[in-house]
Amino acid sequence: MRVAFLGLGGMGMAMAGNIAKAGHEIVVWNRTRKAPQGFDAKVADSIAGAVGEAEAVATMLADDHAVESVVDGGLLDALPAGAVHVSMSTISIAAARRLTESHQARGRAYVAAPVFGRPDMAAVQKLWVVTAGPAAAVERVRPVLQAVGRGITEYGEEPWHANLVKLGNNMMLGAMLETFGELYALMRKAGVAPERFLEAANSLFQSPVYANYGGMAAERRHEPALFKATLGLKDMRLGLAAADEFGVPMPLMGLARDSLLQAIAHGGADKDWSVLALAAQKRAGLD
């Protein structure tokens, strides 16, 4: 199908490449012009130029503001009747609702499809997609979703539900990082090396995510950043904002956010968000 892909950051470039390789006819656009890396695609000069002929328009942008700027700055005006905008960015549930409404008001289809994974996983088509939106629209963009990931979970008709699930999973990662931080602090003060403790944790959890993040935290290997602390903080905030809206106390998530604030206050802003795990160790008097 004819796909427009807007947003060629680390994630977007890899995802667009996989869509192209799946045989779709793809046009790309980025705020600052970028050439496709490792795949062939037309490069549009404007949002409207990218979107005008598309059957599916995928956006992969930094945050609420970036998505809403692109939508209001040409996407929605140019989106053909019958085309579907599939929004793959991690955004707030409030923005997801505003976008749903603005598309509905114009008679256009909006689907949320945020993805799990980092650029290295995107490159090898290992993302996981969570999606929600009107069933027919989801069906139409399914080939695009299949092209970027190893699987899809669907969350019904309300696009913002997919964004909430995505934020919820990122909060789970934040909680896991704080968990590692506290345990590593204890182990270090008791004379057990974090790397060694991690072996036991891995034999228990048998999770590649624990192995990966637990290893980064054990080795204090936070650079280069795969996902920056400030981006992690953004997602923790969006998750906690959703909790606040629904009147749900999430004290553990509050602590994980606080540890991330602490890590950022101690110079971690541009490091990988696994620096969260250092906060508990500093509180315990460790370097």
Q: Which residues contact 241 (CB under 8 A, 6 or more apart)?
A: 92, 93, 94
Structure tokens at 270: 């541009």
| Min CB(194)–a copy of itself separation in Å | 10
Question: Should residue 201 be labelled a site residue for a copy of itself when binding is judged by CB under 8 A?
Answer: yes
107 vs 208 by CB, closer to a copy of itself: 208
34 vs 97 by CB, closer to a copy of itself: 97
Which is nearest to 155 in space by CA: 139, 128, 133?
133
Question: Should residue 287 be labelled a site residue for a copy of itself when binding is judged by CB under 8 A?
Answer: no
* CB 242 within 8 Å of CB 263: no
28 vs 176 by CB, closer to a copy of itself: 176
d(CA 234, CA 174) in angstroms, rounded, equals 12
Residues from 145 through 174 that contact a copy of itself (CB under 8 A) = 151, 153, 155, 158, 161, 164-166, 168-169, 171-173
Residue 149 β-bridge partners = 127
Question: Should residue 94 be labelled a site residue for a copy of itself when binding is judged by CB under 8 A?
Answer: no
Question: Should residue 249 be labelled a site residue for a copy of itself when binding is judged by CB under 8 A?
Answer: yes
| Min CB(234)–a copy of itself separation in Å | 11
d(CA 166, CA 235) in angstroms, rounded, equals 9
2 vs 237 by CB, closer to a copy of itself: 237
Q: In what order do the strands lie in the sheet with 127-131?
A: 115-116, 127-131, 149-154
Whether 189 is a known active-site residue: answer no
Question: Should residue 217 be labelled a site residue for a copy of itself when binding is judged by CB under 8 A?
Answer: no
Choose which of 124, 189, 195, 221 interacts with a copy of itself (CB under 8 A).
189
Structure tokens at 46: 């404007």
Which is nearest to 114 in space by CA: 88, 138, 133, 82?
88
Residues carrying an active site annotation: 166
